[in-house]
Amino acid sequence: MTRADNFAKLKSLAEQPVSIRDLFDTEPDRLSRFVMREGPLRADFSKQAMSQDALDALLSFAATCDLEEWRAKLFAGETVNTSENRAVLHMALRGVGGSDAVKAEVADMREHMASFADKIRREGTFKAIVHIGIGGSDLGPRLVADAFQASADMALDLRFAENIDGASIQDALVGLDPATTLVVVVSKSFTTQETRMNAEAARTWLTQALGETAGDNFIAVTANRDGALDFNIPPGQIFDFWDWVGGRYSVWSAVGLSLQIAFGPDIFAEFLNGAAAMDRHFRDQPLQDNLPVMMALTGIWNRNGLGYSSLAVIPYARRIRKLAAFLQQLEMESNGKRITREGTEAGLTCPIIWGDEGTNGQHAFFQWLHQGPSEGAYGGAPVDFIAVLKDHSARPDHHAALLANCFAQSEALMVGKDEDAVRAELEPRPDAQAIIPQKAFPGNRPSTTITLDELSPFALGHLIALYEHKVFVQGVIWNVNSFDQWGVQLGKVLATTILTEMQAGQTGNHDPSTAALMGLVNT
């Protein structure tokens, strides 16, 4: 069957409505088929509006897309980023896959990072780190830094500056002593506008206090070593960034050096090991027993079968509250494509990724999740609930209430509340007939619940790698290149042009609206 035929079959299956609650009765083995555990991570897909027949069709679809062949190419280091003619080897940073030459490069870099981090920690000169980057050079390290604090002490004050808004670098530097502050500049090209401007602001701040030795307080992580040298960063403090590592997959590389310095190389190594365990699972397990494959196929069903346009990601764990923002880049930059590898229209691909931490979201957008309309088959949007079973805050009452809310929301989305139940509560209220439909919940709204035994560095690596491989599988099925990002370039080019024109007091050749906006700025 062609891809078009398979998508048509999914649509046909999806047109046969199902009751998620009834599936537990008609499929007695549903939990054993739709709940999967790998290491410290358990994923429960049983509350998805997807029958076993639908899952079987999805698995057959994945096989016809040559998923196993693409997976083999990925781990063999073949060129899977076809538009840029590059291999994709972020798994090699975790010790899985790659050629002997790549493995040697990675081993050297990991040793260099660990010894450098140990030296900084041992000497005790620096008390704070300001990590400057944007996109994957910021979102990954920021997410991981929060999460590491659940199980490890932070030896240095770790701060982040990412936005071109001057408040970002201003907030990062406020109250710090230049003499004891280490600035880590992360930019693959060393020309990214936001990162460059923030780095220059930090250099001015350091130079005013330290003079010619300011460069000693800088570290660069980049593929442009010459650019870092021109910035006056000592050669021994420049860490390489290879072109086979995409920014949104880069936290495992020297991009994570700030994390090693702040939390220690051993903690970072656990993080890598957790991801490597998920890599091996994805590489070695057959499709029907493969957790990333199951997660990807669930998303395909919701997007291409049921027609949902978004996915809500709700971590019921404050230490991973940045997960939705991280996944927005990982998923939407990877698979937010409308054109296939062959240059044709792809059809429906990546949904919108959004969310916030629980229980905050319950008091904001959960009204829409439970009762709002949608273009999807059953209303609302699919949800990924993520919970940590171990209490890391030494507040067991809080943690029990947090987990209860998480589990209750997934159940409530599924079971809803029918009008008969509402009627029994309201009658004999005179306006009951008008109020009953407003208080009824349709239910049958799909969700997945992922639990981690604890928020250890290993478990965090496991979780992030799970989503990475989910993205790859979906990219194969949608036939898009998950590893380029041409869509981010046009706005960057125009921004450079507009900035130059505004600084010269010109409006240039732009549409009337843009020209008027430029005229508002007094540079």
- Active-site amino acid positions: 333, 363, 492
Pick from 240, 235, 234, 236: nearest CA to 222: 240
Residue written as tokens 């936290």?
Answer: 251
What does the DSSP 8-state code read for residue 386? Answer: E
Phi-psi map region of 171: left, alpha, beta (phi>0 left; psi -120 to 50 alpha): alpha
| Cα dihedral across residues 219, 224, 226, 227: positive or negative | negative
Pick from 356, 328, 288, 385: nearest CA to 296: 288
Query: Is the separation of the CB atoms in 503 and 523 below 8 Å?
Result: yes
Instruction: For 50-78, give the DSSP string.
Output: --HHHHHHHHHHHHHTTHHHHHHHHHHT-
Query: Is the separation of the CB atoms in 258 and 140 below 8 Å?
Result: no
Phi-psi map region of 98: left, alpha, beta (phi>0 left; psi -120 to 50 alpha): left
Nearby residues of 50 by Cβ (< 8 Å), 6 or more positions away: 18, 58, 298, 301, 446
**CA 394 to CA 150: how far, in whole Å?**
11
Pick from 118, 116, 119, 95: nearest CA to 107: 95
Between 265-284 and 136-148, two packed helices, what is the crossing angle to 10 degrees?
110
- CB neighbour class for 198 (10 Å; exposed up to 12, middle 13-18, buried from 19): buried
- DSSP, collapsed to helix, strand or coil, labels residue 443 as coil
**CA 42 to CA 125: how far, in whole Å?**
42
Instruction: Give first-to-last CA distance, the chain, whole Å.
Output: 60
Query: Is the separation of the CB atoms in 268 and 260 below 8 Å?
Result: yes
Pick from 380, 249, 378: nearest CA to 312: 380
For the CA atoms of 231, 232, 234, 235, what is the dihedral angle to 10 degrees? 50
Amino acid at the residue 279:
D
Cα-to-chain-centroid distance, residue 461: 12
